[in-house]
Structure 1
Amino acid sequence: MIRLLKRLRHAFRLEDGTATLEFVLTVPLLITIFMASFESGFLMIRSIMLEQSVDITMRELRLGHYTLPDAALLKREICNRTIVFRDCEANITIEMTRISTTSWTLPTTAIACVDRSEEIQPVTSLQIGQQNDIMLVRVCVVQDAMFPMTGIGLGLPKDGHGGYGVVATTAFVTEPS
């Protein structure tokens, strides 16, 4: 019995493998931080690309470069200007609302994004304004997180298939012709 205690005491005093233990404890944390940073950066890229493409498309619309614009045309134009969205035209919703200059009432609800777990898609209004009308445009594109179980991917609100909505909002005044 004394011999066993001496061996155990000797084994606890050994310092072999301490670097391995530190490596095993810290590397998963570092990988998680890296993945969360990468996800956060890619979310920011998606958001900026959507904002830019919506701004350019709405500029073209307000200047009258589109004859008889409809939702399909605006979806196609916005999606053609972004390169970071997968299956953009199927996962995008556009809402265009005329803002009254007498009451200045803005929409109080959030934009309805596509829910890929359901066959029925949200109904959004697309009002093309007349001269000097103030138009509020809200666009939502649903995309999957790259690393849904780490970092920012855990905190994002998701639809039934695990996608989160990237939203862009802009406003413009319809130019007189």
Structure 2
Amino acid sequence: MRLSVKNILRHFRRCEDGTASLEFVLVAPVFISLLIMSIELGFVTVRNTMLERGMDIAVREIRLGTGSAPQHDAIKQIICDNTVVINDCMGNLRLEMRSTDIRAFNALDPEADCNDNAEPAKPLRKFEAGDENELMLLRACLKYNPLFPEEVLGSALRKDDSGQVEMIAMTAFVQEPK
């Protein structure tokens, strides 16, 4: 009996079956996590790029459309029309715009005010149309659901109670004369 256990252990030690499986089990989760993280990062980058693009087009339209003061819903609609990959843009986008003096610069509040699906709709934080030759600050805050909320990058993002992540874009422009 002792001899057979010794032979079995010797055979087990020399056997190389399953070494590829062991390497796969150790390395595959790392590669799958990197793949999921890069897909999530790609979508975050695309959303951010499209939000910035929508804001740039809206600001360009505001600046070229001299003679009419920009209105909140019209600006929001222009931004959402130019952000193709963002789901429910009109419902998840919150805009804040106000004028500031160039000589005594006063930035926007550091805390962005985003939509919260768990609460009733908030009134506009502050949205001023601005006069001629005024420096205008425009901030957009977008809430979205991550693709993989519990995976590597999705779990690192700061989420609200409903599991949404906020993305903030800011721009500044000068209100052109009429």
Q: Aligned runs of 1:106-125 on 2, under 5 Å?
A: 106-121=107-122, 123-125=124-126
Q: Aligned runs of 1:5-44 on 2, under 5 Å?
A: 5-44=6-45
Q: Aligned runs of 1:1-177 on 2, under 5 Å?
A: 1-2=1-2, 3-64=4-65, 67=68, 69-121=70-122, 123-177=124-178
Q: Deviations over 1:95-117 (max 9, x none)?
A: 00111234211123221111222
Contact 1:54 1:78 in 2 (8 A): yes
Bigger mean CA offset, 42-51 vs 99-108: 99-108
Bigger mean CA offset, 104-113 vs 36-45: 104-113
**Post-superposition offset of 1:12:** 2.7
Contact 2:63 2:175 in 1 (8 A): yes
Contact 2:58 2:78 in 1 (8 A): yes
Q: Which secondary structure does the structure 2 equivalent of 1:166 belong to? A: strand
The gaps in structure 1 that reach 5 residues or longer are none
Q: Which secondary structure does the structure 2 equivalent of 1:22 belong to? A: helix
Q: Distance in 1 between matches of 2:123 and 2:14?
A: 66
Q: Distance in 1 between matches of 2:151 and 2:67?
A: 43
> What code does the residue aligned with 1:60 have?
E
Contact 1:117 1:159 in 2 (8 A): no
Q: Distance in 2 between matches of 1:140 and 1:64?
A: 24
Contact 1:139 1:167 in 2 (8 A): yes
Q: Kindly report the root-mean-square deviation, in angstroms, between the aligned alpha carbons of the 2 structures.
A: 1.8
Question: What TM-score do you get using the length of structure 1 for normalisation?
Answer: 0.91
Q: Distance in 1 between matches of 2:143 and 2:79?
A: 14
- Count of residues in Structure 1 that have an aligned counterpart in Structure 2: 177
Question: What TM-score do you get using the length of structure 2 for normalisation?
Answer: 0.91
Q: Which secondary structure does the structure 1 equivalent of 2:91 belong to? A: coil
Contact 1:142 1:166 in 2 (8 A): yes
**Post-superposition offset of 1:68:** 5.1
Contact 2:114 2:141 in 1 (8 A): yes
Q: Distance in 2 between matches of 1:61 and 1:143?
A: 26
Q: Deviations over 1:41-62 (max 9, x none)?
A: 1111111111111011011112
Q: Which secondary structure does the structure 2 equivalent of 1:7 belong to? A: helix
Contact 1:112 1:122 in 2 (8 A): no
Q: Which secondary structure does the structure 2 equivalent of 1:89 belong to? A: helix
Contact 1:114 1:122 in 2 (8 A): no
Q: Distance in 1 between matches of 2:67 and 2:60?
A: 10
Contact 2:57 2:78 in 1 (8 A): no
Q: Which secondary structure does the structure 1 equivalent of 2:170 belong to? A: strand
**Post-superposition offset of 1:65:** 6.0
**Post-superposition offset of 1:38:** 1.2
